[in-house]
Amino acid sequence: MSTGMYQSPMEVAVYQLHNFSISFFSSLLGGDVVSVKLDNSASGASVVAIDNKIEQAMDLVKNHLMYAVREEVEVLKEQIKELLEKNSQLERENSLLKTLASPEQLEKFQSRLPAEVLSPEEQSPGAAAPAQHSGGSAV
């Protein structure tokens, strides 16, 4: 179909965009390219058919996106589970090492750490308390 019957550049652009949309969505749906005349005599049925194809294509894209998001959520859940297990293991090891270390070893170790690393219960009574942060949570 020729674009010569359209008077304004906007009409030509709409015609070209509509043809692109039809072929793009038709290829997404795996069907043949739908041939529709988009002129002033276009029937309402062809417009409805185009709308239906576009809606089907949008549903297909939405389904693919939802599937990808669900997969990513499962991967992230597994990573969180693994990190929680590793954190728990490291906390147990840390507790065991603290109980096995002599008071001199603990004092020597704590003197090497900056004050921000030590938790309040681990700080010596003479150590300065870390500055309190105002605002939201650290997460």
pLDDT digits (tens, 9 = 90+) for 89-123: 999 999 999 999 998 988 888 888 877 666 555 55
pLDDT tens digits, one per residue of 1-44: 444 565 666 666 666 666 666 666 666 666 544 444 444 445 67
Within a domain: residue 122? no
Within a domain: residue 55? yes
Question: Is the separation of the CB atoms in 53 and 29 below 8 Å?
Answer: yes
Q: How many separate domains does the chain show?
A: 1
Within a domain: residue 41? yes
**What's at 50, amino acid-wise?**
I
Within a domain: residue 23? yes
CA 4, distance to chain mean position in Å, is: 46
- Residue 134 pLDDT exceeds 50: no
- Residue 135 pLDDT exceeds 50: no
Average of per-residue pLDDT across 42-60: 85
Classify each residue of 103-114 as buried b or exposed e, where b means 16 or more C-beta atoms within 10 Å of its C-beta.
Answer: eeeeeeeeeeee
Average of per-residue pLDDT across 63-80: 96
Within a domain: residue 42? yes
Question: Does pTM surpass 0.75?
Answer: no
Within a domain: residue 125? no
Within a domain: residue 20? yes
70: containing domain: 9-111
